[in-house]
Structure 1
Amino acid sequence: MDKRIEKTVRNLKRHNMSGYYIENKDNLLSLLKELIPPGATVGCGDSVTLEEAGVFDFIRQENYHFLDKFKPGLSKEEKRQIYLQNFAADTFLTGVNAITTDGRLFNIDGNGSRVAPMLYGPNQVIVVAGINKLTDTLEDAITRARQTAAPLDARRLGKSTPCTSLNRCIDCSHKERICNDFVLISGQFAANRIKVILINEELGY
């Protein structure tokens, strides 16, 4: 195991979070099957990492009750109801913008529907991340989220914010700005409620 990954896993444990290491995304689905019991209600946040790893299709095909926010034709209110149901989910699956090697998670969110269930509600939160999300300091984590992840995500979502053409954040006041919630998770009261799976590949952004 890479020394940075080993350090991160150790520090996550210090902060009452579990850290797992797998060599590649091919091992991810079998680990998720171990961590999520059959019949569980599973919610999710937007995540290119989870999409690239085939996690959404896996949850749909297995014996889970998936709160599927990606169903075609959902109205704005129907999506909102799914977001609220996520708080009562057995498991909430998500990616992350950055993980510091001292064991903290940093995210930027647009409307809070991804970060809110990470903070409170679901019995279990499973965070999946490639090694490209590792940073050595909190300052690096914030820079990574703002200058790398946010512009790419805004472009993916079809926003017309300045970052989509400039390829960098200028802390705009655009009406479609997605950098609204800056959330740092430094620990948990409930031991191992948050489980972080680190994959020795570059995934998502």
Structure 2
Amino acid sequence: MKERITKTIANLEKNKMSGYYVKNREELLLLLSKLIKRGETVGCGDSVTLEETGVFEYLRSGDYIFYNKHQQNLTSEDKRALYLKNFEADTFITGTNAITEDGELFNIDGNGSRVAPMIYGPRQVIVVVGTNKITENAEEAIVRTRQIAAPLDAKRLGKDTPCTKLGKCIDCSHQQRICNDFVLITGQLIKDRIKVVIIEGNFGF
């Protein structure tokens, strides 16, 4: 795994994205305190990884202007307003469905609110990913996301799609399908705009 992490970070750098490795939650939060300045605006994508690693709790600490999409009683219009504000955030932080040893990020999204700011808008994007999501290449990343991550996420979201019952993707056309936007980020025009933090352990789906 150490060799895979080293290779992944090296290829991220080649693709003009920064790569970091941390051993645990404490090292992760310390790194974030250095990457995100106090008082900055911070948007977020929906992420089990960020919840499990304590990142959301950290961002709610009051040191940042946090566009918190997990507030209670938000209407669909409230959420849309937050999604649009993410494009102007100083930092957008999110997880990712998979990261390849080639230094690429792959994600499947339901409405694009997570992948869109990753591609354009925020001055800085921080991606937190567990070592369980490292794949050899893009093809493996797609299979992993469709057959492991997407069914588990659909179940978490309470969807009635076939994958929540079968535990695997059958490429359905269900009205509640969350696999709509397939995005592979292979590099950046602005160097180091995207910063990827690989954390040791199994986090997220």
Q: TM-score, normalised by structure 1?
A: 0.99
Letter aligned with residue 196 of structure 1: V
**Post-superposition shift, 1:26?**
2.5
Structure 1, unmatched stretches of 5+, are none
1:13 and 2:31 matched: no
Letter aligned with residue 88 of structure 2: A
Q: Distance in 2 between matches of 1:164 and 1:155?
A: 5
Letter aligned with residue 63 of structure 1: D
**Post-superposition shift, 1:200?**
1.3
1:151 alignment partner in structure 2: 151
1:50 alignment partner in structure 2: 50
Q: Distance in 1 between matches of 2:9 and 2:30?
A: 20
1:100 and 2:100 matched: yes
1:78 alignment partner in structure 2: 78
- Does the residue aligned with 1:28 lie in a helix, a strand or coil? helix
- Does the residue aligned with 1:61 lie in a helix, a strand or coil? coil
Q: Distance in 2 between matches of 1:4 and 1:118?
A: 24
**Post-superposition shift, 1:23?**
1.1
Q: State, as a whole percentage, how many aligned pairs show the same letter.
A: 63
Structure 2, unmatched stretches of 5+, are none
1:117 alignment partner in structure 2: 117
1:183 alignment partner in structure 2: 183
2:41 alignment partner in structure 1: 41
1:25–1:201 contact (8 Å) kept in structure 2:
no
Give the number of equivalent residue pairs. Answer: 205
Letter aligned with residue 103 of structure 1: G
Q: Which digits, 9 at most, give the CA deviation of each residue in 1:167-187, with x for residues without a partner?
A: 000000000000000000000
State the 4+ residue runs in structure 1 displaced beyond 3 angstroms: none
1:135 and 2:135 matched: yes
1:60–1:66 contact (8 Å) kept in structure 2:
yes
Q: Which digits, 9 at most, give the CA deviation of each residue in 1:70-114, with x for residues without a partner?
A: 110111001000000000000000000000001000000000000
1:16–1:188 contact (8 Å) kept in structure 2:
yes
